[in-house]
Structure 1
Amino acid sequence: MTQTLAPPAPAPTRAAVPGTAPDPRLRALAAAHGLTVSGARPPLTAYTRQLWARRHFIASFATARLTAQYATARLGQIWQVATPLLNAGVYYLIFGVLLHTRDDIPDFIPFLCTGVFVFTFTQSAVLAGTRAISGNLGLVRALHFPRACLPIALTLIQLQQLLLSMGVLAAIVLVCGVPLTWHWLLMIPALLLQSVFNTGLALIMARIGARTTDTAQLMPFVLRTWMYASGVFYDLSAFTRTAPHLVAVLLDCNPTLIYIDLMRYALIDTARAAPLPPHVWPLALTWAVLAGVVGYLYFWKAEEEYGRG
């Protein structure tokens, strides 16, 4: 009795072997029927057009999230203003009263509140950007849209909160006896530049946070250190005058310090007692363009990876 052997299994095609390029015949067949790779990263110009086409979704998403953020709190939207005010009160007690910082700075309350409000804008945008993808995986996996919509929308939420807080800040400045002048109009370009800078940071942190979720636990410590180096509650120039040259240059080029200085220069007359250093506006523009462009390109490069794994 002879034993018959089963014919050998056919060799797998290139498309069936992991890590190899698709079969050219299958690629041609897909192209002939207009099929494309699911979730493939579009070219940069096409991606930008898709993002612009969803600008209304970004605005609506930001407004809805902002409304829902305080829906369960009794004071509701008041917390948008109360939180930075409470922080400013704590810093005033520690630095202004206990450490006597207020004795060396004219208009210390407007000085402090401006620093707190402006830095909180960047701080909140970075923290929100870190969780932009990892905190919205259900939305990312269910719907097809440019993922950059999420960090941009979350930065827009922080901008909306800041604009509401700026009304309170203006009232504080006026109550403290600082006059209203045309210099207040300088707040507009300062806020625009900082918004672009924050958006770029949020895009960078969104990609990093999507890969390494532990980043969200680390960022509060990084941001707290950044705050101490940004002159939020003391005059940093008193330190840079005696610091080593390299340290002084690095501190003077700190982007959050730049935007805080611009806002103080716009709002507080005693901050305009000395002319604004000539490097401030060019640095503000440079940081905004650099962070915006680099952040956008860095985020777009990983568009195919978000929501997978």
Structure 2
Amino acid sequence: MSETTHDGAVAVSTAPPPDEGLTATQLADKYGLTVSGARPSLGEYVRRLWGRRHFILAFSQAKLTAQYSQAKLGQLWQVATPLLNAGVYYVIFGVILNASRGMPHSVYVPFLVTGVFVFTFTQSSVMAGVRAISGNLGLVRALHFPRASLPISFALQQLQQLLFSMLVLFAVAVAFGNYPDLSWLLIVPALALQFLFNTGLALIMARAGAKTPDLAQLMPFVMRTWMYASGVMFSIPIMLADRPQWAANVLQWNPAAVYMDLIRFALIDGYGSENLPAHVWALAAGWAVVVALGGFVYFWKAEERYGRG
């Protein structure tokens, strides 16, 4: 801006530019600018995630197909791996250590196989969740999408793998005298609740694994300890019958044991309600809701940091 003085000279105004002195945040607010990759509101994030539902399903199916693509037996390893584990555990715990004490052979074998299959579902979801972000950095950095799609997709992949394996589990149950009846329908809500729990856990581990990649090396030891404490190979009430009741309660209330017990109760005729903790369905639902919602919010809070640095 300029003005003319009394002697006819032109004077240039030294008024500062209109944006001088404004911070970056104030400039962004003034001109309606937003941070690239900024975290959306929780409601908007859920809406975007729902919009990617077809991608989540397709990605999980592709991962499942590719998982054993280099093996000659292919998808049969989905069943063979937990069955081989169950066979090893049966020899060590059922025969050598007599962990089947108090249970007839016709009950212990489906009891053990069910425990291995159901716990493997949670274990695989956790391990896949740890690597969901750190193992897919190329995808995370190249494309813009809700990052929660990845751990949810991996949890869904493990559910599909378990459903495929359930055919073998049913065959084992029938082979040992447990025939289909209405109680088998309880498997559906039990697996649904376990899937919600596993998804929340995968989201939690995905955020932790994105920040600390070395967590993937530690988790196998954590999961092995959890397996031994969850009664996969033995009945907690029977094994801890001479211990304080609170010790048995603590082990039975842990979510892995809760979901295993529910499916064992539904599937095995000789595994009655006396083997279940009190309010077992409330425990199963509580673990599922708290971990699923808490894990989702925990993961969402770091949305803008994934794939950076």
Partner of 1:294: 294
Alignment of 1:54-203 (within 5 A): 54-106=52-104, 107-203=107-203
- Deviations along 1:180-204, one digit per CA (max 9) or x if unpaired, are 2110000000000000000000000
Question: 1:47 maps to what in 2?
Answer: 45
Alignment CA distance shift 1:275-1:27 (3 Å): closer
1:307: which partner in 2? 307
Whole-Å Cα distance in 1 between the matches of residues 274 and 208 of structure 2?
Answer: 41
Aligned length: 289
Q: Please list every run of 5 or more consecutive structure 1 residues that lacks an aligned counterpart in the other structure.
A: 1-12, 16-20
Larger Rg belongs to: 2
Identity rate, percent: 60
Secondary structure in 2 aligned to 1:274?
helix
Could you tell me whether the CA contact under 8 Å between 1:121 and 1:162 is conserved in 2?
yes
Once the two structures are TM-superposed, the CA of residue 26 in structure 1 deviates from its matched residue by 4.5
In structure 1, the residue matched to 2:10 is none
Q: Which residue of 2 aligns with 1:213?
A: 213
Whether the 8 Å CA contact 2:152–2:202 is kept in 1: the answer is yes
Among 20, 27, 30, the alignment partner of 1:28 is 30
Contact 2:265 2:273 in 1 (8 A): no
The TM-score with structure 1 as length reference comes to 0.90
In structure 2, do the counterparts of structure 1 residues 23 and 261 end up closer, same or farther at CA, with 3 Å as the change threshold? Answer: closer
Look up the match of 1:270. Answer: 270
What residue identity is the alignment partner of 1:64?
A
Work out whether residues 101 and 238 of structure 2, in 8 Å CA contact, stay in contact via their aligned partners in 1: no
DSSP 3-state at the match of 1:42 = coil
Distance change in 2, residues 1:219/1:28 (3 Å): same
Question: What's the secondary structure of 1:270's corresponding residue?
Answer: coil
Aligned to 2:283: 283
- Partner residue of 1:10? none
Deviates more, 1:99-108 or 1:172-181: 99-108
Contact 2:151 2:199 in 1 (8 A): yes
Once superposed, what is the RMSD of the aligned Cα atoms? 1.7
Query: How far 1:242 moved relative to its partner?
Result: 3.0
Bigger mean CA deviation after superposition, 104-113 or 87-96: 104-113
**Cα distance 1:241–1:305, how it changes in 2: closer, same or farther (>3 A)?**
same
TM-score by length of 2: 0.90
**Are residue 247 (structure 1) and residue 247 (structure 2) matched?**
yes
Cα distance, 1:104 vs structure 2: 2.7
Q: Check the 8 A contact 1:126/1:201 in 2, yes or no.
A: yes
- Identify if the C-alpha distance between structure 1 residues 43 and 175 changes in structure 2 by more than 3 Å, giving closer, same or farther: same
Aligned-partner residue type, residue 38 of structure 1: S
CA distance in structure 1 between the partners assigned to 2:177 and 2:293 by the alignment: 40
Distance 2:270 2:72 in 1: 39
Could you tell me which residue of structure 1 aligns to residue 256 of structure 2? 256
Can you list the C-alpha shifts for 1:128-149, whole angstroms capped at 9, x where unaligned? 0000000000000000000000
* 1:275 Cα deviation after fit: 7.1
